[in-house]
A and B are shown apart, each in its own frame.
Chain A
Amino acid sequence: DGGITQSPKYLFRKEGQNVTLSCEQNLNHDAMYWYRQDPGQGLRLIYYSQIVNDFQKGDIAEGYSVSREKKESFPLTVTSAQKNPTAFYLCASSIRGRDTGELFFGEGSRLTVL
């Protein structure tokens, strides 16, 4: 079945460590996104990528980095510079270049900083 796979589902990090969250999709979508979800708040955009080797900062990019070397993959690194990294992280994808497009999500990764 087509979909978006995120891993790991749960991740614990010590302060000062970088961690990388994986996101793989087989929907043949060009556009991919990373969102952060905190209790009581709407989803906030961290980074998005329109196409391979291209990505743009979202609203809360500080302390995060991404890469897009393959169409199917869009990993997110949470660096030690992110001051409050404990959150639920969601990867999403959509068809590129449409301003009326459905957005599909992965199962999410919960990061906890110890």
Chain B
Amino acid sequence: GQQLNQSPQSMFIQEGEDVSMNCTSSSIFNTWLWYKQEPGEGPVLLIALYKAGELTSNGRLTAQFGITRKDSFLNISASIPSDVGIYFCAGQKGTYKYIFGTGTRLKVLA
């Protein structure tokens, strides 16, 4: 099945640093969703984006819906140890069709 290209696959950062990750596709999406998943748990929705160019924040998290509608970016500012987890994106193509990225594994070094 189709998957989104998500990068980086993993990253180690120091506490306090900013983090950036992105998802790209050859397809156009109506909605971009960003999730955080911790080991053995279900994904938690962080941010939803609905319009090309839209920039939305949720606390220290900021995400953008790419102008071409084929990509999206997630930034985490001033990372803290509890930011550890897997972040993944999802693009919605049709009413019931969501395509998912493979995730970015984030590890924060105190």
- A residues within 8 Å of B by Cβ? 4, 6, 31, 33, 40-45, 48, 50, 56, 59-60, 88, 90, 94, 96-108, 110
Are A59 and B42 within 8 A (Cβ)? no
Interface segment out of the listed B13-21, B56-64, B88-96: B88-96
- B residues within 8 Å of A by Cβ? 1, 3-4, 30-31, 33, 35, 40-45, 48, 50, 88, 90, 92, 94-96, 98-103
Are A99 and B1 within 8 A (Cβ)? no
From B31, B40, B42, B99, contact of A100 by CB (8 A): B31
Are B45 and A103 within 8 A (Cβ)? yes
From B31, B41, B92, B96, contact of A48 by CB (8 A): B96
Q: With A44-B1, A90-B43 in contact, is A103–B95 under 8 Å at CB?
A: no
Are A59 and B30 within 8 A (Cβ)? no
A90 contacts which chain B residues (CB < 8 A)?
A: 42-43
Sample of 11 A–B contacts (CB below 8 Å): A33-B96, A41-B3, A42-B3, A43-B90, A44-B1, A45-B98, A99-B94, A100-B92, A101-B95, A103-B98, A107-B41
From B30, B40, B102, contact of A99 by CB (8 A): B30
A40 contacts which chain B residues (CB < 8 A)?
A: 102
Complex-state Cα separation, A42 to B4, whole angstroms: 8
